[in-house]
Structure 1
């Protein structure tokens, strides 16, 4: 599969500027975040100090968390499917006897569900909750998973009344704040951060699908992404970094009020003077989307390779773990007392250190797990088995409401 999205050449679209294109990659996330870590190791950062001696303690705690949650060390990957499975909704299994089209349709339906769900999974805020008839009151990411699942299974994303389990551009383009609020049970007494922005994001997604008929077909359906990736796979293998590059180009215009370079939307990207070029990309939601697409693509018969070229995710549980356990300390404690803008230098610094620290933690946790694992610990397993759950547990002990140690002002499309 080529890192340049096929099907775009005929749309009279200029090739992205090389510098901007390079920022739309997992490699750029890793290198720029390690630029910030290098400055931290020299004690040159403005907002945070790095205490590498704490990595040993955090690695031990994460390894213990993994052993508690997965005693046999059969750790699933970090993915939206873990939330769905907890809700009793599993990816439809494909059997060896299934024909290629049956497997492809399983993959299409899974993609139809998981992409909107991931895109809607920015911070919900501390006050919002979702009442699920089977699982009770859910908050934050679990609640957003349940609400987005209800939106999908209720036919809210389908333009075909006879086929509710699909996501069509026509229907996405009609999403509005009131209909989303109804499904997500949001209102004045149950405020969901960025509700209007989430609805607008779904509308923009519909327009983007219609603008890429070579990828999503006519009429445009989100699940047709499977067919595009399969057509450009090499011997049945699709590279995770190439899938990310494809999605970053397609989804770049989704994100409002973000940085751009030479007319190219840079998505989830900030600025920091310690980076080699002043930019620090994170692509948190899009990378988590790629992690969450692996199982659907494999259900369709593809093999996704080079997944460890992706990075850890710059989000508040992973980053909160570092702050709560002392690997990071704020130079000015007032920074932790007030919500910070997502694009502020302090938040960019925190998120970059989070990504770089996850690389360090992965090796340290692997050492503590020893040779009991059949294969080396993947980044997706580190996050699912350990850092995310550990970050949540430490936050719950430190603060009654379990909020992260540093709060970020969200517009519903980051974190």
Structure 2
């Protein structure tokens, strides 16, 4: 909010209340730290990675004028692209996610690539098989979070986004922490809880994939308990109003609010 209101995302001082490619490309770590009031007493994990991510966003939207427009390219151009791809004003959630993945795949650093395409939040899990693609686990947590977040403003703009059940639950540490801290999942090696883990490590990939699967398993009984049909209780409602908050509450009770596993993060996964 303050980045936007302060004009830090715009390249035009005369039009500060917009975000454009050039403004994003010029954003530095010091500006981000100042706006987020980062200090020794108020640290922000992965600050440098988040600043790089925003600069990469500027590069990505410049590279996709079909999605973000030109002169200037803006993240908000995606709304115009969505309208153009929504016959009768109706857009499937899967198609919205596809636009996000197409336009932003290049911003995620150091990830798996296939045929020259950066796959983003996709990880190798060798136990699935020897094939190059069969052992890939797609999670797309941040891209799906963004897709969920775009639904309301797009509908305010006159579009109708349907088939939200085509999206998955979010493979992040609050939802995943709910299942570990709640005893649904247990570590085979309890010592792993005190060790740092890279996002691509087998343990973290397993944990995140199980989180997605278990969120699906949780949605149906919750809908029935509420006396609702499953299709009347969208997964996004459960995520926002239930599992994320419950995971955070459990983490606060059991620790100091930190996740049950220590993840070496640069701010571009969680």
Do they fold alike, i.e. is TM over 0.5?
yes
CA contact (8 A) 2:24 2:57 kept: yes
> C-alpha separation between the residues in 2 aligned to 1:406 and 1:365?
26
Alignment map for 1:306-385 (pairs within 5 Å): 306-371=163-228, 376-385=232-241
> C-alpha separation between the residues in 2 aligned to 1:168 and 1:197?
20
Q: Which runs of 5+ in 2 are unaligned?
A: none
**Match for residue 160 of structure 2?**
303
**Match for residue 9 of structure 1?**
none
Q: Which runs of 5+ in 1 are unaligned?
A: 1-148
- The count of residues paired between Structure 1 and Structure 2 equals 265
Q: CA deviation at 1:239?
A: 0.9
- TM-score in terms of structure 1 length: 0.62
- TM-score in terms of structure 2 length: 0.93
Task: Give the 3 Å change call, closer, same or farther, for CA 186–392 of structure 1 in structure 2.
Answer: same
Q: CA deviation at 1:163?
A: 2.9
Q: Point out 4+ residue stretches in structure 1 off by more than 4 angstroms.
A: none
Looking at both structures, which has the greater relative contact order when contacts are Cα pairs under 8 Å and sequence separation is at least 6?
1
**Match for residue 27 of structure 2?**
175
- Per-residue deviation, residues 219-270 of structure 1 (Å, max 9, x unmatched): 2121111111101111100111011112112111101111111211110011
**Match for residue 294 of structure 1?**
151
Alignment map for 1:1-400 (pairs within 5 Å): 149-219=1-71, 220-275=73-128, 277-371=134-228, 376-399=232-255
Q: The residue matched to 2:91 in structure 1 has which SS?
A: strand
CA contact (8 A) 2:61 2:104 kept: no
> C-alpha separation between the residues in 2 aligned to 1:217 and 1:374?
38
> C-alpha separation between the residues in 1 aligned to 2:231 and 2:93?
19
- Per-residue deviation, residues 33-91 of structure 1 (Å, max 9, x unmatched): xxxxxxxxxxxxxxxxxxxxxxxxxxxxxxxxxxxxxxxxxxxxxxxxxxxxxxxxxxx
Q: CA deviation at 1:165?
A: 2.1
